[in-house]
Amino acid sequence: MEIYPIKFRPIFKQRIWGGRAVSAVFGKTTPPGVKIGESWELADLPEDKSVIVNGPLAGQDIASAIDKLGPAITGKSDYTPPLGLLIKILDASDVLSVQVHPDARTCLRMGKGDPKTECWYIIDAKPGACIYKGLKGGTTKEQFAAAIADGTCAELIEKIAVKIGECHYLPSGTVHAIGAGLLIAEIQQPSDTTYRVFDWNRVGDDGKPRQLHIDEALESIHFDPSFDDLSVKSVGRLVDTEYFKVDKGHMLKGDEILVSAGIMKVIVVLSGCGKIESQTAKTVEFTKGDTVLLPAEYEGVVLFEEDCQYLTVTI
């Protein structure tokens, strides 16, 4: 079978804090009248696997494709599923809950959950938009537990104004929340384990408060984050971890770049459009909002038909 750039059908997630930006900004066909908070662009979780929409593999999910073609896609002879990435577009029309994701040691200690380190690239931000990231210096577990109980825990988390083009790194164990008015590309480990500690006293569509996971969260939060990297970058190599690497690219109309074989790459197109060509596979077009997987054995050229900003993710 020919090796070619692979595109996927997004998986839309309704969220109480979501909006319509995924459709308005990127032209994705979302269900009408529904608040879409997350568009899963590449996923290989047990209940959510991205389905391929182009080429000979169309209709198969990413796990089946890798099972069939193996190292031709991943570039790894010792690959163990699942694919080590979950890529989303988040539309935070309202503020998200205060939450934390566990690290591997915490998952092992508690006997449940999957670790989740992530990063947020700010695609768009309304004036005054902010995020909450990391505890204020000196905050103890006891202090934070008491603040959860009296509804003031957000006061103990660093509130950070954000700008378009920034990438915020959040290692597992970092307590955080996304503020209202943000459109974000999220790259993370393949995990959906989230422990909420506070949800701004709001209720769900059923009129009841959403479930909290206070005990698990308190076990997961890094209360001594002195060794955690909470860096913010906006150019070049944005994130460099053992789990994934993220690079930012900006090409002008008429530019082109060669794609060499050797390592699987995932391109998240933030703006612009173009096409990917080779001598052995059909041309694949891309536009803003697309996520394209370039298999490890693929060789070709990317031609930019408009000015284009994009993220390149590798594992």
pLDDT tens digit string along 284-303? 999 999 999 999 999 999 99
In a domain? residue 22: yes
User: What CATH number has the domain bearing residue 44?
Assistant: 2.60.120.10
Q: Which of 15, 196, 210, 237 is flagged as catalytic?
A: 196
* Shared domain check, 39 and 170: yes
Omega before residue 82 within 30° of 0, cis? yes
Range of the domain at 285: 245-314
Q: How far is CA 253 from the centre of its chain?
A: 27
pTM of the complete model beyond 0.85: yes
In a domain? residue 1: no
Q: What is the mean pLDDT of residues 75-104?
A: 96
Does residue 227 carry a pLDDT above 70? no
How many domains is the chain built from?
A: 2
* Shared domain check, 13 and 125: yes
* Shared domain check, 231 and 90: yes
* Shared domain check, 222 and 249: no
Of the three residues 220, 237, 254, the one that is the final residue of a domain is 237
Predicted confidence band of residue 1 (pLDDT cuts 50, 70, 90): confident
Of the three residues 205, 237, 269, the one that is the final residue of a domain is 237
* Shared domain check, 216 and 134: yes
Of the three residues 209, 237, 265, the one that is the final residue of a domain is 237
- The predicted pLDDT at position 193 comes to 97
Q: Is 196 considered catalytic here?
A: yes
Q: What is the mean pLDDT of residues 53-67?
A: 97
In a domain? residue 140: yes
In a domain? residue 151: yes
* Shared domain check, 51 and 116: yes
* Shared domain check, 146 and 128: yes
